[in-house]
């Protein structure tokens, strides 16, 4: 397996992968929207058997503290692996490679929305337990699905901080 940055000639393959991995086209549309908005901070693909078997994307996020400060960070997602290739470590390899790279960009945190059973293995923690909240869900109706991870040895964001995804996420 090879993990490498996504190139424009890979876009059709990534689109097909996302439509196969998710029941709805929202993530495929989101990926196109993030690229169009120049918000595709990092897009990595996993190639296996000559096919694009997995993809992970990272985009800008903004944390707004109660004191009015805005702290830039990154958001993980979408991440997907072709159904026939799932549960072979491809998703984990993509996420680890992505996190390794984005740490070099210097952000102090990364967010993700998904199953805590999966993302906790990479170091993500449920955001509500840290009194951190997603602007799209101020009452934490998604429970522990909204997660955050401090990067580069940064302290946790101040309690009460609300974090927003790039506006392209409004599509999903």
Ligand X SMILES: CC(C)(COP(=O)(O)OP(=O)(O)OC[C@H]1O[C@@H](n2cnc3c(N)ncnc32)[C@H](O)[C@@H]1OP(=O)(O)O)[C@@H](O)C(=O)NCCC(=O)NCCS
What is the binding site for ligand X (CB under 6 A)?
Answer: 21-22, 79-81, 86-92, 114-115, 117-118
Distance, C-alpha 83 to centroid of its chain = 19
Residue 104, H or E segment: helix 90-105
Tokens of 23: 């029941």
| 20, 59, 60, 118, 145 from 140: Cα distances, Å | 29, 22, 21, 19, 9
Cβ distance to ligand X smaller for residue 108 or 120: 120
Give me the least distance between CB of 86 and ligand X, in Å please. Answer: 3
Cβ distance to ligand X smaller for residue 48 or 130: 48
Omega before 78 within 30 of 0, i.e. cis: yes
Cβ distance to ligand X smaller for residue 154 or 172: 172
Q: Residue 59, SS3? A: strand
Cα 89 to Cα 156: distance, rounded to the nearest angstrom: 29
Cβ distance to ligand X smaller for residue 77 or 128: 77
Give me the least distance between CB of 67 and ligand X, in Å please. Answer: 31
Give me the least distance between CB of 46 and ligand X, in Å please. Answer: 9
Give me the least distance between CB of 75 and ligand X, in Å please. Answer: 11
| Position with the least CB separation from ligand X | 91
């Amino acid at each position: 397996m090879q993990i490498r940055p996504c190139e424009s000639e890979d876009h059709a393959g990534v689109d097909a992968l996302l439509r196969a991995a998710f029941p709805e086209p929202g993530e495929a549309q989101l990926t196109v929207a993030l690229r169009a908005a120049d918000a595709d901070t990092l897009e990595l693909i996993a190639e296996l058997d000559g096919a694009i078997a997995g993809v992970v994307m990272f985009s800008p996020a903004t944390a707004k503290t109660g004191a009015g400060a805005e702290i830039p960070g990154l958001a993980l997602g979408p991440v997907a692996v072709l159904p026939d290739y799932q549960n072979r470590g491809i998703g984990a390899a993509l996420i680890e490679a992505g996190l390794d790279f984005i740490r070099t960009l210097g952000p102090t945190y990364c967010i993700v929305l998904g199953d805590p059973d999966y993302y906790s293995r990479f170091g993500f923690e449920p955001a509500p337990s840290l009194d951190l909240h997603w602007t799209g869900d101020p009452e934490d109706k998604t429970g522990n699905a909204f997660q955050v991870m401090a990067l580069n040895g940064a302290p946790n964001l101040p309690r009460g901080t609300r974090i927003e995804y790039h506006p392209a996420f409004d599509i999903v």
